[in-house]
Chains A and B, each alone.
Chain A
């Protein structure tokens, strides 16, 4: 009796130690976000003193969203929305058929084509951006929505093709064959039978691709200057200037992470599935 008592006690202690270790990691993971909230609410005159006690104010956000530092942050935010949505929509239009085709048919060169698509994930961004920088200036695509949407395909298209490919591969072909016997054309079978079944996958992968496009930094840094600049580059510009305004930088950083964080919290389970799917199955 006594021995089992001891064993359960040991087990319970170990359990507590494990929970404590987990909590420690999550403090490391969440403290920076919490600290940005605190910093963003600080009035300018209390920035460098009193660390945790201060009189919170929304002035930082008002300045950032009111363009009063000469940085049109709201426009950058809208730009991010436009180019990220644009990139995702375009990637879905061309990526869904490609994913379907590569999941349904083994054809000559299919694996090579797919690998080529994926290999862009491993190319250093600057390898293509520098030539694009030269090219865009000649073509008039520099600092435009079209230019940004096009180049963001490098981020969104491989992601969508690879994850959707495994969703399509999980569908049994019999479903579409039955539809074909019912007199559907191939296209109808795809649009009316296969596509609705992978709808949850499409939703998850679109949001994941949106987040990746939104978070990209190096494309807008080099291929835009003002008109089409996005929040990731915009947030950085608050760090410049002679007197650093940490509360404004914190507010800008937080505003720019609101969309990805909100999406992540709402569809957390699907994102995790998408992330591990995309990595493991490739």
Chain B
């Protein structure tokens, strides 16, 4: 009965795979669509091979979207990392205040990003929003938060930071709590200062955890959709049209299906490549952290 034993894991996995294939099929179908000029106005499409992709790459709109997407992803991931690690370090000190606050750290993360964007949109209204109301005593009452190109980009990054900083903080805190104690004890015996300990011990050993969080945040920010959709819808002008928003506009709003999908395929390839590079880097960092911990 050996073959039945060998087959067992496959049998257990097949249902999950079938369901996954239900998703893989549209993915393949989408890939196939991009070779045609399939749109609502052309239900009997011609084969155009790679023309859609050629159009994508020669379009200025694409490069603008790519630039905005990178700005958004780098900005959001960077702020979330610094702020998240700072919050984790402060919570790790474990004061009374910290223990109480830690319990509610997760709350913004549990709010749907689209709802978060709605909430911030209400607060950022130039004339009636509470943010400008609170800024008025400082002479800053009239900021057009989402109506200027820079303001719109910064506002959407702020919403991302509000929602996802807890994610980085939680991972960093889990990391801090799992660090070995002996290197720190040795450093304390040697009379090492706080800054030295932090730079030479805490940070290198914590870095793998932080990098995992960065990878997740960077990948997710590259394909941001809901925050921008609810906050700015890509505007003003083209200033916040990230790639997924552009794909949505092309495919759903203008019903150029295959053209819209080629946008997402390009984005998918970029995310995949970025993931590969970062994961490789992660391996290196993990080895370095292990060396520090072993010292």
Contact = CB atoms under 8 A, between A and B. Distances in A.
Interface of A: 15, 18-19, 21-23, 25-26, 28-30, 32-33, 35-36, 39, 47-48, 51, 90, 93-95, 97-98, 100-102, 104-105, 107, 110, 113, 116-117, 119-120, 122-128, 130-135, 150-151, 153-154, 157, 161, 186, 211, 214-218, 221-222, 232, 235-236, 239, 246, 249-250, 253, 256-257, 260-261, 263-265, 268, 271-272, 275-276, 279-280
Contacts of A94: 15-16, 18-19
Most buried by B among A21, A124, A250, A271: A124
Contacts of B272: 119, 122
B212 interface: yes
B290 to A, nearest CB: 15
A261 B111 contact: yes
Interface stretch (B56-64, B93-101, B141-149, B182-190): B93-101
Contacts of B122: 36, 39, 246, 249-250
Contacts of A271: 106, 110
Interface in B129-155: 130, 133
Given A98-B15, A120-B23, 19 more contacts: A21-B90, A22-B91, A29-B107, A30-B107, A33-B108, A94-B16, A95-B16, A98-B17, A107-B6, A124-B264, A126-B260, A126-B263, A127-B267, A131-B26, A150-B22, A232-B226, A239-B230, A265-B107, A280-B209
23 contacts: A19-B95, A29-B107, A29-B162, A30-B104, A32-B120, A32-B162, A93-B15, A94-B19, A116-B20, A126-B244, A130-B30, A134-B33, A153-B19, A153-B23, A157-B16, A186-B8, A215-B115, A236-B230, A246-B122, A249-B118, A272-B170, A275-B170, A280-B212
A135 B118 contact: no
Given A124-B271, A272-B106, A28 B174 contact: no
Most buried by A among B12, B86, B104, B226: B12
A237 to B, nearest CB: 11
Interface stretch (B47-55, B70-78, B196-204, B247-255): B247-255
Interface of B: 6, 8-10, 12-13, 15-20, 22-23, 26-27, 29-30, 33, 83, 86-87, 90-91, 93, 95, 97-98, 101, 103-116, 118-123, 125, 128, 130, 133, 162, 165-167, 170-171, 174-175, 209, 212-213, 216, 219, 223, 225-226, 229-230, 243-244, 247-248, 251-252, 257, 260-261, 263-265, 267-268, 271-272, 275
Contacts of B175: 280
A127 B112 contact: no
A235 B118 contact: yes
A28 B118 contact: no
A28 B86 CA distance: 14
Contact of B171 (A151, A260, A280): A280
A22 B226 contact: no
5 tightest A-B CB contacts, nearest first: A215-B112, A101-B12, A98-B16, A276-B174, A94-B15
A130 B257 contact: yes
Contacts of B110: 211, 215, 257, 260-261, 263-264, 271
Contacts of B263: 126
Nearest to B121: A239
